[in-house]
Structure 1
């Protein structure tokens, strides 16, 4: 593969779907995606594609009569085959020059850019995303491919860019070498961007992987696997093994040959993986590395100097974008009492403008992902009715899917469950504070620490918030969702995970180990 000059990184632009031609193009892409409905998808184990009788049935959460696809399901025996394929492939893949590994990602980015609407259309049907949410995610997937390709080349040239001290008579070098075989466990809520980012980072660093996608969005993950096959990625570098977390997820996490686990998902599952990974299996000769992003209970703090219109819009967008199904979603608003009533009024007015319906018709609010999530969220809404004042929403919405009304509770106590626990749905809790310092204290009173926002026009208060609000990604006078690759390295504190900073300049280090060499002649 020929090395080419790579231009500086630049974020992929978003599509404006208010333009009729763009909306029409997306409609055509969705129609094309529907032509593949009900297709069967295989496992990928080394060079083999394996169909199994046991399958994951992927259903459109906005139209429960629509089967998106039937995805073959791995058991432990097949997972072991995939592990052996990855181990064999690692022996040659680790020797491929970094610049050559990066070229696979750049070629994949080019193809995904050319087929951007095609990838987004699958998410509209399988994940319930509207046009903009799907497009932004596909753009982020392209960004991850482009960014990590450049990062690997930079790390490979570390001796030239950050030379070690050279002692007399010695040649001292530092190289970043791959770890081995890793397990990639991405989430359903960003089935393209996070799946691509987690996988691409691991393989460009020289590792081989087993990709176990979320069971609600496996078709989207398979589309990425097909793309990497198309760009010529060697067989066995990326193995596709959908299956039960309790069966193959635990098995692979505990496997003695697993070198690292890259996980994005819930706190409970992340802690379970951490516990399994910490145990030394027979024959294991390393400490397994865990890269985990585990959710949040994110919030937006508003003081009395803030632009209330901007704050209200940010609160509503952060709370209800993709139905609140983001680890960065702003499910709490903490507002200083002197502007509380005015801010709440603006929040309710904006929330009531949101329309609910089929994502393929580009409604702002679509379904939540599945029955389990629907029931959990509805349960929290009932809890909220006992903990705060219901101002809007509070029930299910019409449609043949898992639709829930955007729901706002006001006058919620800082210690209430809906202020403390991650709901992962379209539910916003609003709390009153006497001043900005109390509001920040309420914001910090959580076991999580992923994203947050502070709205103020006072420079001294902003400086204080920058120091005292405890989270991995803090934004001033903007929404707390929408991290951009390269601009907002993403990852959180406390129970939000290992603060692994996806899309940042140290992320690839998590998938490598540094080897220092000294040669004396």
Structure 2
């Protein structure tokens, strides 16, 4: 980039940030009731059925990823769930007081937030991040992917209309100018007060390296285990519904299915009833060859419906016209076996395990290759095995007997926060293991007062240890 253009880029971003800071200073004086009205207005900007349909159609047309019907459901459901989570939550002024400890907590905004958002969800993800940020009296500047830029811009247009309706500053929500480029995104990350990043691992590394406090998320590559105690028909229905939803664009879609040998054949039959067809080895090889080009996922194939992929690969499987998921049997794991990784398509790799312990070993190997920290799905009625996964597997979420992509990011029948950004802990090189929610957009000030002295005696702390190891209390004096 020449010096003149680089200077222009820097000025454009700086202007956005300055406008955001000016608007945020006004917004910081809002009461909780005013803030909650802003949150409701932003929620309506995407949930208004006319707006939602427009955004869903633009998202698919612009990115070529997913399908309109499921985008509409996702935009509605994810936003409604978030609004439910935020109802009654205090983010202005004193939010808690612990008289016993003498501590008062006060919620404070972080300032101007920069959000990196992916092409897979160019409306739902920025809406979620923006609503969370503004619930905490921050301003938001969105950095969309180039493919999702126009969808993101339309969302901001809808948000501006609602902010204007209630008399709130429009510059509380902005997006980078067109054309979207890496230099602007990197400059934004340097100038804001907080970066929240979702998308490629390159985005995560750039966010962490920006010098600005940042939250990022890890790669998905969900493994689903089915053991001999599972309700197979229910498991098959949930797995197919999850894997087929929005053509598997979600990082929470099942990518690998590990079935214990005792119920392998029955589970394959149950999947077939749900229109998940098992391909032959030769057909599997055709899919693999088509899905990857020069070591990268083929943009012309990913996030297409299963029957469309079958046609692209010129498969001969019966019932492929009605297929919702293409299942491929595999044993290999690692970089030489790309089917063991994330596929962003309704292609499900199936592994056969001798027993539950073998299923765990296979899952561990898969996550060592890709997806460590994100989540594991299990279909089982054995509580000991479920707890075993939680105690021993490198995953921040163990999703039990649920459709994984609906459950991981919050569902109306589980207690997870509604989010489209899943932290993967240190296993996934992240600094959080939670579903990213409003708490990550807050600073907290603590007023600390004195309380009655609460100093323990040495004997109360070390007494048992001294006795167990024959240490004289006199040694502590």
| TM-score (structure 2 length as normaliser) | 0.73
Would the aligned equivalents of 1:336 and 1:432 in 2 still touch at CA under 8 Å?
A: yes
Of residues 413, 420, 439, the one that matches 2:359 is: 439
**Partner Cα separation in structure 1 for residue 429 and residue 221 of structure 2:** 9
Aligned residue in 2 for 1:454: 378
More moved, 81-90 vs 133-142:
133-142
Q: Does 1:509 align with 2:446?
A: no
**Partner Cα separation in structure 2 for residue 444 and residue 342 of structure 1:** 24
Would the aligned equivalents of 2:244 and 2:324 in 1 still touch at CA under 8 Å?
A: no
Would the aligned equivalents of 1:205 and 1:508 in 2 still touch at CA under 8 Å?
A: yes
SS of the equivalent of 1:481 reads: helix
Report how far residue 348 of structure 1 moved.
4.3
Would the aligned equivalents of 1:471 and 1:492 in 2 still touch at CA under 8 Å?
A: no
1:386-429 Cα shifts (integer Å, max 9, x gaps): xxxxxx9666279xxxxx99532203324463354322223211
**Partner Cα separation in structure 2 for residue 146 and residue 315 of structure 1:** 26
Pairs aligned (count): 396
Report how far residue 154 of structure 1 moved.
5.7
Q: Does 1:272 align with 2:206?
A: yes
**Partner Cα separation in structure 1 for residue 176 and residue 91 of structure 2:** 31
Of residues 35, 50, 53, the one that matches 1:120 is: 53
Would the aligned equivalents of 1:407 and 1:427 in 2 still touch at CA under 8 Å?
A: yes
Aligned residue in 1 for 2:22: 88
Q: Does 1:324 align with 2:248?
A: yes
SS of the equivalent of 1:461 reads: helix
**Partner Cα separation in structure 1 for residue 174 and residue 309 of structure 2:** 43
Would the aligned equivalents of 1:164 and 1:174 in 2 still touch at CA under 8 Å?
A: no
| TM-score (structure 1 length as normaliser) | 0.67
SS of the equivalent of 1:81 reads: helix
**Partner Cα separation in structure 2 for residue 300 and residue 175 of structure 1:** 42
Report how far residue 498 of structure 1 moved.
4.1
Would the aligned equivalents of 2:228 and 2:260 in 1 still touch at CA under 8 Å?
A: yes
Aligned residue in 2 for 1:217: 148
**Partner Cα separation in structure 2 for residue 374 and residue 193 of structure 1:** 31
1:316-347 Cα shifts (integer Å, max 9, x gaps): 23333222211101010011122223323433
SS of the equivalent of 1:215 reads: coil
Report how far residue 374 of structure 1 moved.
12
1:327-373 Cα shifts (integer Å, max 9, x gaps): 1010100111222233234334534589xxxxxxxxxxxxxxxx999
Q: Does 1:138 align with 2:76?
A: yes
SS of the equivalent of 1:513 reads: strand
Report how far residue 215 of structure 1 moved.
2.2
Q: Could you say if the C-alpha distance between residues 381 and 352 of structure 1 is closer, same or farther in structure 2, counting changes exceeding 3 Å?
A: same
Q: Could you say if the C-alpha distance between residues 393 and 180 of structure 1 is closer, same or farther in structure 2, counting changes exceeding 3 Å?
A: closer
Q: Could you say if the C-alpha distance between residues 235 and 373 of structure 1 is closer, same or farther in structure 2, counting changes exceeding 3 Å?
A: farther
Would the aligned equivalents of 2:118 and 2:199 in 1 still touch at CA under 8 Å?
A: yes
SS of the equivalent of 1:431 reads: strand
Aligned residue in 1 for 2:416: 488
Report how far residue 229 of structure 1 moved.
1.9
Of residues 194, 204, 224, the one that matches 1:260 is: 194
Report how far residue 294 of structure 1 moved.
3.4
1:31-42 aligned within 5 A:
none
Aligned residue in 2 for 1:17: none
Would the aligned equivalents of 2:240 and 2:276 in 1 still touch at CA under 8 Å?
A: no
Would the aligned equivalents of 2:197 and 2:203 in 1 still touch at CA under 8 Å?
A: no
Of residues 251, 276, 281, the one that matches 2:187 is: 251
**Partner Cα separation in structure 2 for residue 220 and residue 316 of structure 1:** 28
Aligned residue in 1 for 2:312: 396
Q: Could you say if the C-alpha distance between residues 274 and 351 of structure 1 is closer, same or farther in structure 2, counting changes exceeding 3 Å?
A: farther
Report how far residue 456 of structure 1 moved.
1.4
1:361-440 aligned within 5 A:
376-378=296-298, 396=312, 406-415=325-334, 417-418=337-338, 420-440=340-360
1:134-180 Cα shifts (integer Å, max 9, x gaps): 223223123324533533x2664423xx424465xxxx532121112
Q: Does 1:467 align with 2:397?
A: no
Q: Could you say if the C-alpha distance between residues 482 and 334 of structure 1 is closer, same or farther in structure 2, counting changes exceeding 3 Å?
A: same
**Partner Cα separation in structure 1 for residue 222 and residue 105 of structure 2:** 39
1:167-206 aligned within 5 A:
172-206=103-137
Of residues 3, 13, 31, the one that matches 1:97 is: 31
Q: Does 1:234 align with 2:153?
A: no
Of residues 251, 259, 271, the one that matches 1:347 is: 271
Q: Could you say if the C-alpha distance between residues 336 and 352 of structure 1 is closer, same or farther in structure 2, counting changes exceeding 3 Å?
A: closer
Give the CA RMSD over aligned residues: 3.6
Report how far residue 110 of structure 1 moved.
4.4
Would the aligned equivalents of 1:183 and 1:252 in 2 still touch at CA under 8 Å?
A: yes
Q: Does 1:294 align with 2:227?
A: no
Question: Which one has the bigger helix percentage?
Answer: 2
Q: Could you say if the C-alpha distance between residues 337 and 414 of structure 1 is closer, same or farther in structure 2, counting changes exceeding 3 Å?
A: farther
Q: Could you say if the C-alpha distance between residues 418 and 318 of structure 1 is closer, same or farther in structure 2, counting changes exceeding 3 Å?
A: farther
SS of the equivalent of 1:229 reads: helix
**Partner Cα separation in structure 2 for residue 374 and residue 220 of structure 1:** 29
**Partner Cα separation in structure 1 for residue 299 and residue 131 of structure 2:** 37
**Partner Cα separation in structure 2 for residue 411 and residue 129 of structure 1:** 28
